[in-house]
Structure 1
């Protein structure tokens, strides 16, 4: 049964589950009948739809769909091999079942990598692409990324809080304790650690993305936090080969600028979306 409540008189927020490839996938959806544009938000490794909770109140001009990727959040976590191809098939089925056509995709970290991979196999599906510190170009994990993975395998409040602080890399940023508790609870769900490790192995196997970025001709905006130590800002250079791409660095931000500076982030993406 879906949970629906009004955000304002012209918008409904829905949280529900849908069967995708035989598995239960959770999603959050904002319907705005007056809007002709749909935004899909893809979270990063180990995260959930709630990672976008600082941003979604600002997206009042658009229809918004935010899935928990299969294996993460509160979606089902089957004991299977998690491959990039499997994630692509699950997204393909999700878009089909949700009747999503020509969306604007915003992908953070691993979600950004999936947006790119999907675009390579479905070349005209997205209207525009927005990437936030996308994964797929690192040759080996950074120290901060390793600490984040450690916090997923050993999800105590202390470990998770420390990892989130390091990922923000901004002394003025205060980690939300509710976010920490939610992460701890999710990583203690059955098969959560398995899906994390299996996905990490899939990401390590997939080393061809850097060479294929030039094939993506869809209007793309790549945003990076200047102080990102999870996937360092130097990786933005790889994305300058995209023929229809723009790059932008947000100052005083770590790995998730849409969490640390949501209003500034929204102003940037709104200009790109509406241009």
Structure 2
């Protein structure tokens, strides 16, 4: 499968599978015995735990758990209707079975939308919430998002590299060849394209999130890349009205600042987590 879990150093990296809602789910975990805080990382649409790999080595002082969301990565991809409710139930059982209590959640793009949806149903579950260019506020797909979906449906090396380069929106950023090949391999797995499209339809059906942002009650940090063409930075304005929300715009970054500038990204989140 081309798993690349152990090439990034951290305390005790491990990969395993667990049954959630009857499906086989992969997760990556880093144990830090002296850690007082647990961080859960939720990847975006079509991604996997490896999308956070550049951040892994910087999270040494925390317990870290990164699931491949059901339907994505190397988790099982059932032929069912993927709805927001289904993903929330998935997280409920995952947190329960993994005995995760009061974690800090970091959600990117669709993972950010899921973190929000979950927290609005379970107000006191997360200690803090960090959202990176969260989905859920776009009225219609951007060209950058459309190209990413296209690369998932037609996963050639060139299509994927081009869409990842567009996602970064930075000529100096070099797309890692291993990342491209891993995405290409995953999108060729049985039912991978089905789960991508089914989830995308669920995201487009759920248009109520923007109105419910006022219900955010946990300390929340929203981070956006200034050059994001997938979900434009203007969407950060929707989050600025709540007193519990802090916002940060990272310069010279696109949709995934934790990939493009991991050290700078870590400094921003560490300050928020430890405050």
Q: Report if TM-score (shorter chain) is over 0.5.
A: yes
SS in 1 for 2:64: strand
Matched, 1:59 2:59: yes
| Separation of aligned partners in 1, 2:33 and 2:18 | 21
**Uncovered stretches (5+) of structure 1, i.e. residues with no partner:** none
| Separation of aligned partners in 2, 1:225 and 1:188 | 29
Matched, 1:206 2:187: no
Q: 1:4·1:12 contact (CA, 8 Å) conserved in 2?
A: no
Q: What's the C-alpha RMSD, in Å, of the aligned pairs?
A: 1.4
Give 1:242 deviation, angstroms.
2.5
Matched, 1:148 2:185: no
| Separation of aligned partners in 1, 2:92 and 2:14 | 21
Give 1:200 deviation, angstroms.
0.4
| Separation of aligned partners in 2, 1:249 and 1:108 | 14
Q: 1:213·1:241 contact (CA, 8 Å) conserved in 2?
A: no
| Separation of aligned partners in 1, 2:221 and 2:230 | 20
Give 1:241 deviation, angstroms.
2.3
Structural mapping, 1:68-147, within 5 Å:
68-147=68-147
Q: What is the aligned partner in structure 2 of residue 36 from structure 1?
A: 36
| Separation of aligned partners in 2, 1:251 and 1:4 | 29
Q: What is the aligned partner in structure 2 of residue 22 from structure 1?
A: 22
SS in 1 for 2:118: helix
| Separation of aligned partners in 2, 1:134 and 1:199 | 15
SS in 1 for 2:164: helix
Matched length: 271
Give 1:63 deviation, angstroms.
0.2
Give 1:7 deviation, angstroms.
4.6
Q: 2:136·2:210 contact (CA, 8 Å) conserved in 1?
A: yes
| Separation of aligned partners in 1, 2:231 and 2:189 | 27
Matched, 1:273 2:251: no
Which segments of structure 1 move beyond 3 Å, counting only runs of 4 or more? 3-8
Give 1:272 deviation, angstroms.
0.2
**Uncovered stretches (5+) of structure 2, i.e. residues with no partner:** none
Matched, 1:50 2:50: yes
| Separation of aligned partners in 2, 1:171 and 1:47 | 22
Give 1:243 deviation, angstroms.
2.9
Give 1:114 deviation, angstroms.
0.2
| Separation of aligned partners in 2, 1:245 and 1:72 | 29
SS in 2 for 1:241: coil
| Separation of aligned partners in 2, 1:18 and 1:40 | 16
* TM-score calculated relative to the size of structure 1: 0.97
| Separation of aligned partners in 2, 1:243 and 1:136 | 20
Q: 2:217·2:244 contact (CA, 8 Å) conserved in 1?
A: yes
Q: 1:217·1:243 contact (CA, 8 Å) conserved in 2?
A: no
| Separation of aligned partners in 2, 1:34 and 1:47 | 30
Q: 2:5·2:50 contact (CA, 8 Å) conserved in 1?
A: no
Pair 1:168–1:4, CA change in 2 (3 A): closer
Q: 1:214·1:243 contact (CA, 8 Å) conserved in 2?
A: no
| Separation of aligned partners in 2, 1:141 and 1:223 | 20
